Amino acid sequence: MRLAQGLLILTLLSQCSFGPALATAVRPGTTEQLINAYAPRDATCPTVPLVRPATNISTLENQYINARKTKANAALAAWLKKVNAGFSTSILPVLGLTHSGGGYRALLNAAGNMQAMDSRDSNSSIGGLYQAITYQTALSGGAWFLSSLAASNWATVSLLQKTIYDSTIPAGLLFPVEPNVFSIVPNYAQIVADIGAKQAAGSPVTLVDVYGRLLGYNLFNSSDGGVDHTMSGLTSMSNFSSHSVPYPILTSIGTDSNSTCTVSLNATQFEFSPYEFGSWDSGTNAFVQTAYLSSNLTNGMAISKKCTTGLDNLGFITGTSSDFFAGACDSQFVPTGMLNALAAALQSVVVKAAGTGGDELLATYRNPFYGSSHSPLVSHSEDLYLADGGASFQIQPIWPLIQPLRNVSVLIVGDCYGNTSSYYPGNISISYTYAQAQANNLVKMPFIPTSAVFIAQNLTSRTQFFGCDEPDTVTIVWLPLVPYIKTASNVDWYDLQVSEDDIASVITNGNLVATQGNDEEWPLCLACAFMKKTGPILPSGCVACFTKYCYAPTA
């Protein structure tokens, strides 16, 4: 019912006129008119180059990681000693945490996974591990969670649930109801004005702009849907500036066209972080400063020495990472009637707000690598067209963390995706990641069996450790979605609303996945997985843990 109502309101709005004044509307909580915060703004270009080749991590990321690692090491050492005093803490691994795609199911299970690891919010046996994480990556539904978390200055999951999720998610994705404010129609009208202001400033707009603004009202604790939240602006958050949280990365997939329905398995993997946007892949092999994303650049230089800011809107980037509209004509994943109706409704708003054709399915960015010799695959294109981070069947954002220059040792991979009838993991996307890593000579990725082997050996029924006996790869702690709470833990990824009771159930199930149902042996086994690559001495109990969890390929 909510979906139908939302589609109706969007369609009616596309037929109404709101006048140009909304481009400078008085936003809630303000007393004066402001230039529309969604529109790009001219800015002075920095003196340092905007674009660099991907020969290393950036100086700013390196500085952040070095400072973060000091705090992460202290937290990990304390947790290890709590688990078993026999662990040596002289050499500690770099830990990464990933959140898969899967709509609200992914958002809520990711929230539960993290809550179990967060010492601020849990007394579980793995409480304190979140404080030991150095990198945190997400895509699609997982990106909904990570963006919401970061925009709230990395608040606890309990606070996010109380102040945002319990209010907005039951209302539905198409209902821009910010917490404790009931102004649905004015918010819809403001979204139309936002899109129009961006287009009037000369920037391309697509249905992802409308979708991203709706996500802002759903995910951010802000009366204006977080219209002024930017990816680069996360650097000003106190928990980020104090290096108290993992370095966040969202992923997306590149394609050659803005009207495609399919994305190739070897499509370019792009990543967004507070400091940079770009790709390690050979066809792009470059990064641009996130704050100046979509500035008009040629060969890394600003045209007329003018730069643009504001186009790294966090809702738009989150919408980019979760842009499943490229599959609007592919019935393999979702009911096409629902998705096509949603795409049509969002397109109608684009037509009204911007006067464009409105048939664009993908997020469009001015190409910062235009004319760049470092980026032969994309250097000829004036625009980049980006889709859902899982569009190439890699539903877990592992790619950024198997880049050798990041030196990650262990990945905790929360997997909420599956295409079986029960929507628990069946078609194992990390198998695709392994195949593509092999093709791109990314030797940090451990061996992963095919989906057929996963199913034949019933590997999806519990956690697996991959890479235990491969000294040069990362160790992957794979946490598949297991139904500890059977009634609600696998809400369909295309569900656009979830009840308050089910929100609580899915988050609780995510806690249980992270603790393996509060298994008393799990903390030791998890610690053994962390330290096998770096610890010179392991407690004797690790032998049984490796026997139970480490995947060993059969001859």
List per-block mean pLDDT (blocks of 10 residues) for the chain, which spans 555 residues: 54 49 43 69 86 95 98 98 94 97 93 98 96 97 97 98 94 69 70 88 88 93 91 98 98 76 79 98 95 84 82 96 72 53 67 58 90 90 90 91 97 77 60 93 95 84 92 95 78 82 94 96 98 88 96 78
- Say what the pLDDT of residue 495 is: 79
- Say what the pLDDT of residue 157 is: 98
Residue 335 burial (CB < 10 Å; 0-12/13-18/19+)?
A: exposed
3-state helix, strand, coil in the chain (%, to 5): 40, 15, 50
CB neighbours of 66 closer than 8 A, spacing ≥ 6?
none
- Say what the pLDDT of residue 32 is: 40
CATH architecture assigned to 2-549: 3-Layer(aba) Sandwich (3.40)
Q: How far apart are CA 172 and CA 263, in angstroms?
A: 28
Residue 276 burial (CB < 10 Å; 0-12/13-18/19+)?
A: buried
Among 313, 292, 314, which Cα is nearest to 302's? 292
Q: Which amino acid is at 369?
A: F
- Say what the pLDDT of residue 20 is: 40
Residue 202 burial (CB < 10 Å; 0-12/13-18/19+)?
A: exposed
- Say what the pLDDT of residue 427 is: 55
Q: Which amino acid is at 374?
A: H
Q: How far apart are CA 291 and CA 275, in angstroms?
A: 7
Q: Which amino acid is at 131?
A: Q
336-354 and 184-200 helices, crossing angle to 10°: 60
Cβ distance 221 to 179 under 8 Å?
yes
Cβ distance 388 to 405 under 8 Å?
no
How far CA 325 is from CA of 361, 389, 417, in Å, comes to: 6, 12, 17
As given in the structure block, the two tokens for residue 128 are: 């304190």
- Say what the pLDDT of residue 462 is: 84
Interior angle at CA 507, CA 270 and CA 208, nearest 5: 35
* DSSP states of 453-471: HHHHTTGGGS-EEE-TT-T
Q: How far apart are CA 433 and CA 395, in angstroms?
A: 9
- Say what the pLDDT of residue 443 is: 96
